[in-house]
Chain A
Amino acid sequence: MQVQRIESPGGIKAFLVESHDNPLVALRFAFRGGAAQDPDGKDGLSYFVTGMMDEGAGDLDAAAYQELEQSLAIHMDFDTARDVITCSFQTLTENREAAFELLAKVLSAPRFDADATERVKGQILASLKFDQNDPVNIASRAWTSAAFKGHPYARPVKGSLDTIPEVEPADLRAYADKVYAKDNLTIVVVGDIDAATLAKDLDRIFGALPETAELAAIPDATPAEGPFREVIEMDIPQSIAQFGQAGIMRTDPDFLPAYILNYIIGGGGFNSRLMEEVREKRGLAYSVNSHLFPFAHACVFMGRVATKNEAVGQSLQVIQTELERLAADGPTEDELDGAKRYLTGAYALRFDSSAAIANQLLWLELEGLGVDYVDERNALIDAVTLDDVARVAKRMLHADRLITTIVGKPAEMPPQALAG
């Protein structure tokens, strides 16, 4: 895989991997910004903006835009995360010119018409109504708001039933004007296009954007320290419990040991301790897992278990014990070996299609690692020692200080409930 660095005549930069096997072009780009830039009282604004990107642009109203998008068989998908708005855009080679022209319109002249705004508002409100009764969603929102109280990360990315009705077309436009710009833009292109053509196309698509974004500074945040436990009663047969605490930032030298540690705890499916102890040995749950989420301004180590109400106490106790054991003793040599073998061996699987390659390269750039990291990454994983992981387990895991949110009708709790 050869990554070319392209710069357009107008100064727009992109990474390109040429692949002419299939007649399609995959474009992935991102604007730093995301939900953390939502103004006070307008939680969910960036999510709303991304929902409006196929609702008309330039001379095309929503219906005309959507018909053209369908005729050209374009796949365009905007999404918002805490720190970034991403877009995945695919077109067939034969429609490339028309497709890129349409994308240019979407970026530089989104319409935010009043009727389309009301329609999308109705859709977001309806989906928030569903979320409001979805136990996984409730547990997650409660966890986030407890962990990040007072920080922009505490805001729900999709907004709430209070904030979404307040959003007006002017808000949407203001957000797009601030965030869609050149200096916070990262672009990756993979597929059936050559460097010279892409250089010209980059100006055509992105050339009309303002030079600089106006982004509010987001302070770094440390998730609140527990023990904290909140039980949200809901009359369902199976409870959802989310547990977690501060993780280790992407920029921290301990990130990779923490990443491997998370794989060993609950990131590795059947290769992980929580799966072994909670599901395989005891049959307490179908799903139990953990994640390490490295946001730009905080990192979260977080896990989740879904288990029948009578077994919530036992499941949480098993999880707590495993976290304590890992903090005290670190993982075994065998666990570390298993994790490294998977993580290094499976890395190639992330690069097996144009769309997948574009996605990987984009996130390497967004996380500040750079596209050359592809060639270094497996050696970095292999260099992590058992001592490194044991040290980081001690640093990161504090089973007596977890933030835990539970939705359901849990029958009994482990002793930590008293402390929390």
Chain B
Amino acid sequence: MQKPSPKISEFQLDNGLQVVVVPDHRAPVATQILWYKVGGADDPKGASGVAHFLEHLMFKGTEEIPPGQFAKIVARNGGEDNAFTSHDVTAYFQRVAKDRLPKVMAMEADRMANLRLSEESALTERDVILEERRSRVDNDPGSILQEKVMAALFETHPYGIPIIGWENEIAKLTRDDALAFYKRFYAPNNAILVVAGDVEPEEVRRLAEETYGKHAPNPELGLRKRTPEAPHAKGETIRLADPRAGRITVQRHYRVPSYNSATKPGEAEALDLMMRVVSARTAGKLYRRLVVEEKIAASAGGWYADTGLDSGRLALYGVAAENVTAEQLDDALSRFIADLKRDGVTQAELDRARNAYLAQFIYAADSHQSLARHYGWRMATGMTLEQIEAWPDRLKKVTPEEIADVARTYLTDENSVTGILEPAAQSLAA
């Protein structure tokens, strides 16, 4: 199979900022993504949601940029911008015509150190976030269950706390909470800058030095310490009956290693490919069993969340077919998982899924944006550039035996949490 050759390079500024350049000269467009190595799992105890709160407040202004003007200035320069917070990283990005890149780099560098916040704008934004929580969680029973499942999967590690925060804790967040977090974590030596598109490394280096290069590193920045997850004695099942649930859904979640947390070489790759065999849409092994053969589920699938700094997780789920109970569906999932542990996957299944997966790396190279995201996210969560580039080769080495091994090791009762969502007797919609 042909390899994409985007000629990606990296360097570091004197203040510790890591810079990655992804050249793609097909269109006169550039993307900047600044990744801070901090996220919701770094929120102080009792102040859940600070990392995400700060992400919103980063748009409020600096000495240079008047309050509320950041996004407007980007738009007036013909750019698009946004930001997001995960448990481990917080990222800010802009896409612009290439000649506006110096402008947005200057703006992003400016708010790395010069944020200005009024008490009033922080309080208004807190209300916005409470509305965001209502939209994302309270109005959606699937998300309510997801929060409960995460809390059970991670009882001590902060991955069990929602990134957006618990409602009662968001309601108490202040401007000072956000600023303290900002001062501690937002610094060039805690960030990765990815610039992709119609650029060359030398000009990115010059621009980065002129902008980000002005900031001093934060010497206080220590290692991120999160409370580790203690082993669980047994699995747990969480049931949620909600009038808004359309159909019975059963999900089985497992704590498993991520690419970063895996201690044995090849385990994350094996889990990754296992889940591609299991959950590749209609060609997936789980869909074949539950939907096509047993007709117990209307749909079925799964995923492997593999980027976590401290742990990964994976999930298999089914949406019940008409007249199928949660118990029947749960039982079918259990049988599937038991068979997967006993029989593993066949070489033919692995080859098909791997072909499709390796092709993803080539498809991704069609968009410099997806490359910027791919490289930035991986590097911010522990992979080196060399490891990312060698990834397809590592995937090629995975064998069916290794997949059976990780299935037996990690798909255990004590690593699991089952989430069941059922329609309550009465629909809320009149």
> B56-91 interface mask toward A, CB cutoff 8 Å, 1 = contact, 0 = none?
000100000000100110011111100000000000
Determine if A308 and B427 form an interchain contact, defined as CB atoms under 8 angstroms apart: no
B106 at interface by CB-CB < 8 Å:
no
Known contacts A69-B283, A236-B138, A348-B27; A125/B429 CB under 8 A: no
Determine if A238 and B429 form an interchain contact, defined as CB atoms under 8 angstroms apart: no
Determine if B75 and A238 form an interchain contact, defined as CB atoms under 8 angstroms apart: no
A313 at interface by CB-CB < 8 Å:
no
Determine if A346 and B79 form an interchain contact, defined as CB atoms under 8 angstroms apart: yes
Contacts of B352 in A (CB 8 A): 67, 70-71
Cβ < 8 Å to B, chain A residues 320-361 = 337-338, 341-342, 344-349, 351-356
Contacts of A268 in B (CB 8 A): 75
Contacts of B321 in A (CB 8 A): 122, 126
Give the residue of B134, B295, B363 whose beta carbon is less than 8 angstroms from that of A24.
B363
Contacts of A285 in B (CB 8 A): 128, 131
C-alpha gap A70/B279 in the complex (Å):
12
Determine if B77 and A345 form an interchain contact, defined as CB atoms under 8 angstroms apart: yes
Known contacts A94-B1, A346-B80; A70/B355 CB under 8 A: yes
**Closest A residue, CB atoms, query B126:** A283
Known contacts A122-B322, A232-B430, A353-B367; A341/B76 CB under 8 A: yes
Contacts of A23 in B (CB 8 A): 2, 4, 362
B204 at interface by CB-CB < 8 Å:
no
**Closest B residue, CB atoms, query A283:** B127
Determine if A90 and B363 form an interchain contact, defined as CB atoms under 8 angstroms apart: yes
Instruction: Give the size of the chain B interface in residues (CB under 8 angstroms).
Output: 75
Give the residue of B24, B95, B140, B355 whose beta carbon is less than 8 angstroms from that of A349.
B95
Determine if B366 and A24 form an interchain contact, defined as CB atoms under 8 angstroms apart: yes
C-alpha gap A41/B129 in the complex (Å):
43
Determine if A269 and B363 form an interchain contact, defined as CB atoms under 8 angstroms apart: no
Contacts of B1 in A (CB 8 A): 92, 94
Interface residues on A, range: 35 or more
C-alpha gap A131/B428 in the complex (Å):
13
B228 at interface by CB-CB < 8 Å:
no
A284 at interface by CB-CB < 8 Å:
yes
**Closest B residue, CB atoms, query A138:** B429
Contacts of A238 in B (CB 8 A): 131, 134-135, 138-139
Give the residue of A66, A92, A342, A352 whose beta carbon is less than 8 angstroms from that of B75.
A342
Contacts of B123 in A (CB 8 A): 283
C-alpha gap A234/B430 in the complex (Å):
7
> A260-286 interface mask toward B, CB cutoff 8 Å, 1 = contact, 0 = none?
000000001111000010011111111
Give the residue of A126, A269, A283, A287 whose beta carbon is less than 8 angstroms from that of B247.
A126
In the assembled complex, the CB of B97 is this many whole angstroms from the nearest CB of chain A, namely: 5
Determine if A63 and B288 form an interchain contact, defined as CB atoms under 8 angstroms apart: yes
C-alpha gap A347/B78 in the complex (Å):
8
Contacts of B246 in A (CB 8 A): 126-133
Contacts of A356 in B (CB 8 A): 367
A-B residue pairs in contact (CB < 8 Å), sample of 18: A23-B4, A24-B362, A66-B282, A70-B355, A126-B247, A234-B244, A238-B138, A269-B75, A276-B68, A279-B128, A280-B124, A283-B125, A284-B127, A341-B75, A345-B96, A346-B75, A349-B96, A352-B197
20 more contacts with CB within 8 A, not counting A73-B358, A276-B68, A283-B123, are A55-B282, A70-B283, A71-B356, A92-B1, A122-B321, A133-B428, A236-B428, A271-B76, A279-B128, A285-B131, A306-B134, A306-B135, A338-B76, A341-B77, A341-B78, A345-B78, A348-B97, A352-B27, A352-B367, A356-B367
